[in-house]
Amino acid sequence: MRYFVAIAAVILAVLLMAKPDASGIQLITLTKSQLGWTVTYSLNEPTERLMFVRSPDRSRAERWQPLDSNISIQWHDGNEVVVSLNGAPFNEVSFALDATYVPLPKDYAPFSPFSNGGMLVHTGRFFACADICTEHHHEWPMAMQVSTDDYLLVNGTRQMGFFEWQDGDSGRAIYVGQQPPEHFAALVALIDPALPQSLQYGLVSELPMIMSYFTKQLGSLNSTPTLFASYSDYKGGYYGQQGGVLPNQVFMHWYGKAALETLNEETTLWFFAHEIAHLFQGSGLRFSSTEEAWIHEGAAEMMAYLYTDNKLGENSAILENAVQEAQQQCADVWPVSENFVDVGRVDFRAHYTCGLVANAELHAQLKANGVSNGIFTLWQTYSDLIRQGEPANSSTYFAAFERLTGYASMTLRQLIDRPVSVSIAP
């Protein structure tokens, strides 16, 4: 059975502008030794329970083994929580971790192994709060201790031994291993040697072109992003892939041998174009709402197809075909009688399909009104409004459109219902 999960960063965390409250955590320490991986939570003061920020399922209870027999991970009101069996408060707890890959519903896996022994760690999986987590908790002090010969790659910088940092929001991906990173003009990459040679060559040649294209359209990034592409075996014959974006990072993990056998290289390269587009979306993505993810997801879809069209030439029909397919898929899941917010909550994929159609129409109208860079200029204007204090929502997005064209935009529903031929008009 095949699983494919492509999760937008906004599902994982929305960056909040409110000042964060203290989580009650003094330090979260991840440790790798010859014996394996552990995590230790040191608290500011004793607490009767520890709540994890995100609990997409109950797998921590199965995969995390407490080093104290009095400590247990339990399920309470839809969340995994750490408690002591005798009810006594605690100020430090440690767990031995199963550092293999596990697919999680609507979340990134904590460990994505490389075939050569390296490991990509998603720190957001380890965020927790004393007693209870609220929407205002989005900063955590973290550290990593490595007693092996591995190095740490944190924010594109190599560290050895012990490293401490302030983490938060959606977390970040940290590489632990010995494989040297590849440095390009505007990108650092770690590509698993087990991936097909043709894909490795494709990534090496295509990634700089993708970066160059989006830099030309949206301006340079403030710092050099890092890309991770990894593979690991998987038990039980299951296989699939999961990819996504974290602040200044893009990653894809394949698991199970069949995932490599069925790998579509063109689709993979397009996926990276979509995720790299997110890196360039800046404030428009950073403060976005999951309920209106059609804005940034649809725009990233559009930008990736525009890149592909640009690469393949003017006669490419890839964008037109994609919009036609997306319009039908959107119509199938969005009855006229329902609010799109409700549709998106049930089927998040609608943000991609409906968002692509809407952004394709906005792009066409902008170009027809003399805005030659279309969706890219719209995104820059939208981001400017957000930096000026406007909310990251459809009202601001449509206001940016009106500022550029001089007339009000159609509603999302009207944009979706437009004939595809109009949406693709030059």
Q: For 64-78, write each residue's pLDDT tens digit.
A: 999 999 999 999 999
Q: Is residue 284 part of a domain?
A: no
Question: What's the average model confidence in pLDDT over 306-334?
Answer: 88
Q: 148 and 189 share a domain? A: no
Distance CA(63)–CA(121), nearest Å, equals: 15
Give the torsion through C-alpha atoms of 20, 26, 31, 37, to 10 deg: -70
Q: What is the pLDDT of residue 290?
A: 86
Q: For 193-232, write each residue's pLDDT tens digit.
A: 999 999 999 999 999 999 999 999 999 999 999 999 999 9
Answer yes or no: is pLDDT of 17 > 80: no
For residue 12, give the nearest of 75, 56, 76 by alpha carbon: 56
What CATH number did the domain enclosing 64 receive?
A: 2.60.40
For residue 146, give the nearest of 244, 30, 253 by alpha carbon: 30
Q: Is residue 139 part of a domain?
A: yes
Q: What is the pLDDT of residue 354?
A: 98
Answer yes or no: is pLDDT of 38 > 80: yes
Q: 186 and 172 share a domain? A: no
Q: 23 and 169 share a domain? A: yes
Per-residue confidence at 126, pLDDT binned at 50, 70, 90?
very high
Query: Which three-class secondary structure state does DSSP give residue 416?
Result: helix
The angle at the Cα of 356, spanning 350 to 361, to the nearest 5 degrees, equals 130
Q: 101 and 173 share a domain? A: yes
Per-residue confidence at 19, pLDDT binned at 50, 70, 90?
very low
Q: What is the pLDDT of residue 209?
A: 94
Q: Is residue 65 part of a domain?
A: yes
The parent domain of residue 113 ranges over 13-177
Answer yes or no: is pLDDT of 7 > 70: no
Answer yes or no: is pLDDT of 330 > 50: yes
Q: 192 and 255 share a domain? A: yes
Q: What is the pLDDT of residue 85?
A: 96
Q: 253 and 401 share a domain? A: no
Per-residue confidence at 160, pLDDT binned at 50, 70, 90?
very high
Task: Return the biggest CA–CA distance within the chain.
Answer: 70
What's the predicted TM-score (pTM) here? 0.87
Q: What is the pLDDT of residue 166?
A: 95
For residue 305, give the nearest of 374, 356, 353, 355 by alpha carbon: 356
Amino acid at 282: G
Last residue of a domain, one of 123, 146, 177: 177
Q: 38 and 169 share a domain? A: yes
Question: What's the average model confidence in pLDDT over 145-159?
Answer: 92
Residue 122, strand partner residues: 173
Q: What is the pLDDT of residue 283?
A: 84
Q: 171 and 190 share a domain? A: no
Answer yes or no: is pLDDT of 186 > 50: yes
Question: What's the average model confidence in pLDDT over 274-281?
Answer: 95
Q: What is the pLDDT of residue 391?
A: 94
Q: For 414-426, write each residue's pLDDT tens digit.
A: 999 988 766 665 5
Percentage of the chain modeled with pLDDT above 70 = 93
Answer yes or no: is pLDDT of 117 > 80: yes
Q: 307 and 394 share a domain? A: yes
Question: What's the average model confidence in pLDDT over 284-291?
Answer: 84
Per-residue confidence at 5, pLDDT binned at 50, 70, 90?
very low
Q: Is residue 296 part of a domain?
A: yes
Q: What is the pLDDT of residue 9?
A: 38
Sign of the CA dihedral with 345 first, then 347, 352, and 354 last? negative
* Helix intervals (H) in 9-168: 9-12, 59-63
Last residue of a domain, one of 177, 206, 240: 177
Number of domains in the chain: 3
Q: 18 and 156 share a domain? A: yes
Percentage of the chain modeled with pLDDT above 90 = 80
Q: What is the pLDDT of residue 339?
A: 95
Q: Which residues of 269-295 are buried (b: 16+ CB within 10 A; e: fewer)?
A: bbbbbbbbbbbbbbbbbbbbebbbbbb
Q: 170 and 244 share a domain? A: no
Q: What is the pLDDT of residue 179?
A: 97
Q: What is the pLDDT of residue 424?
A: 65
Per-residue confidence at 242, pLDDT binned at 50, 70, 90?
very high
Q: What is the pLDDT of residue 315?
A: 57
Q: Is residue 347 part of a domain?
A: yes
Q: What is the pLDDT of residue 319?
A: 87
Last residue of a domain, one of 177, 203, 233: 177
Per-residue confidence at 302, pLDDT binned at 50, 70, 90?
very high
Q: 235 and 148 share a domain? A: no
Residue 12 or 83, more confident: 83
Average model confidence (pLDDT) across the chain: 90
Answer yes or no: is pLDDT of 184 > 90: no
